[in-house]
Amino acid sequence: MERIFADSNYFIALYRAVDSLHEKALEIARNLQKQGATLVISNFIFNEVVTVLSQRESKEAALVIGDLLLTNTFIEVVHIDEILQEKTWEVFQKTKEKNVSFVDCSTVVLMTAENIPALLTFDTKDFKALQKVSRFRFFQKNLIQ
């Protein structure tokens, strides 16, 4: 069973019917379900998803999706601890591109620590800069673009 790290923009698109990437997210979700893949998120990604959904949808929607992320057996939440945060800070300091966030840096640090080879994101442009730091592939790039 493949473990794939999922960025917050995937879940936001999946649960917001008005999102321009909603249909792509649904297609990917169907594909993942067929494969029986496990999606991995960090506590940072969880924070982003529930915050954005609370702001753009409603607090109730954020609570429902938050519960789903925490209880779905095909989603694993890994916590960024102090050591991973320090490594993330080092990567963030070295990254020259201004659109690469601290959370993005934490994603690749966690992927390396957990030996997760694939990243599911709609933000391939900014993550390309981080491929210099960590070797990973984009999950089904043809579906994402």
* pLDDT value of residue 145: 46
pLDDT by residue (tens digit) across 14-54?
999 999 999 999 999 999 988 889 999 999 999 999 999 99
Tell me which fold the domain 3-144 belongs to. Rossmann fold (3.40.50)
pLDDT by residue (tens digit) across 97-124?
888 999 999 999 999 999 999 999 998 8
Inter-CA distances, 77 with 45, 72, 88, 125, Å:
9, 10, 17, 25
What type of residue is 104? D
- Per the DSSP assignment, residues forming a β-bridge with 38 are 3
